[in-house]
Chains A and B, each alone.
Chain A
Amino acid sequence: DAGVIQSPRHEVTEMGQEVTLRCKPISGHNSLFWYRQTMMRGLELLIYFNNNVPIDDSGMPEDRFSAKMPNASFSTLKIQPSEPRDSAVYFCASSLRGGVQPQHFGDGTRLSIL
């Protein structure tokens, strides 16, 4: 079974550039989550969707960050313009029906902003 697929695995770009991270959840999963992992703050929830609808985006750091889920099999997290402090590992996860269902994580995108 295919798990959660994230692309790219690594991204290195210069400050000010637009960055787009992509995620394909597990087929049949109704909830999708975007997390950011840093040394200082650990794993933080940025935003999550139920049935393609954003439910809670209170974790999105600022307006430079945006996320979309145009259909059940694809989501993007965009940073525009990017800054060095955005450097982190970004994980996408999906789960069946949300709630206490265990979330299945992708292998993450390691983002470096120079």
Chain B
Amino acid sequence: DQQVKQNSPSLSVQEGRISILNCDYTNSMFDYFLWYKKYPAEGPTFLISISSIKDKNEDGRFTVFLNKSAKHLSLHIVPSQPGDSAVYFCAAWGYSGAGSYQLTFGKGTKLSVIP
């Protein structure tokens, strides 16, 4: 049972426009959320995070929004650039139910920014 879901496997956006990547979660014990970016043949790299006590966190062109009541978060990239083309993973931190706290990842959304 997937606790972190990224329902869009892929997304194409024109350069300069906004990219919106979505993520839903089911476990109300999650209290910290992160986005990772992954290029082919490389490991994921940390992008931005948000605590459950906030509803927005911004870092340059990247903003993450959290809606706790809906158990939904989104990553906005404005303006999108061709170098942003990558797979984006949503991850949630919290009690896993298996006896420890851990990071649970979504399956990722492949973003393609078209020049």
A interface residue numbers (CB < 8 A to B): 4, 33, 42-45, 48, 55-56, 58-59, 91, 93, 99-100, 102-108
Cβ of A56 and Cβ of B46 under 8 Å apart?
Answer: no
Contact residue among B32, B41, B43, B51 (Cβ-Cβ distance under 8 Å from A105): B43
Q: Which residues of B contact A58 (CB under 8 A)?
A: 96, 98-100
Cβ of B99 and Cβ of A102 under 8 Å apart?
Answer: no
Measured between C-beta atoms, what is the minimum distance from B87 to chain A in Å?
10
Cβ of B108 and Cβ of A42 under 8 Å apart?
Answer: yes
Q: Which residues of B contact A44 (CB under 8 A)?
A: 105
Main secondary structure, interface of B, reads strand
B102 part of interface (Cβ distance < 8 Å) = yes
Contact residue among B43, B46, B101 (Cβ-Cβ distance under 8 Å from A4): B43
CB-based nearest A residue for B104? A45
B45 part of interface (Cβ distance < 8 Å) = yes
Binary per-residue interface labels of chain B (78-115) against chain A in the complex, 1 for a CB within 8 Å, 0 otherwise: 00000000000100010010111111111110000000
Cβ of A93 and Cβ of B43 under 8 Å apart?
Answer: yes
Chain B: number of interface residues, binned into ranges? 20 to 34
B interface residue numbers (CB < 8 A to A): 32, 34, 36, 41-46, 49, 51, 89, 93, 96, 98-108
CB-based nearest B residue for A92? B43
CB-based nearest A residue for B46? A102
Query: Taking A102-B49, A107-B42 as contacts, is the C-beta distance between A45 and B102 under 8 angstroms?
Result: yes
Cβ of A43 and Cβ of B105 under 8 Å apart?
Answer: yes
Q: Which residues of B contact A4 (CB under 8 A)?
A: 43
Cβ of A55 and Cβ of B100 under 8 Å apart?
Answer: yes
Q: Which residues of B contact A105 (CB under 8 A)?
A: 36, 43-45
Contact residue among B46, B51, B89, B105 (Cβ-Cβ distance under 8 Å from A104): B46
Contact residue among A91, A104, A107 (Cβ-Cβ distance under 8 Å from B41): A107
Measured between C-beta atoms, what is the minimum distance from B35 to chain A in Å?
10
Give 9 pairs: A residue, B residue, CB < 8 Å, sorted on A: A4-B43, A45-B103, A45-B104, A56-B100, A91-B44, A99-B93, A102-B46, A106-B43, A108-B43
Which of A56, A99, A102, A108 lies at the interface centre, i.e. has the most chain B CB atoms within 10 A of its CB?
A102
Which 5 A-B pairs have CB atoms at the shortest separation, nearest pair first? Answer: A105-B43, A42-B107, A102-B46, A56-B100, A58-B98
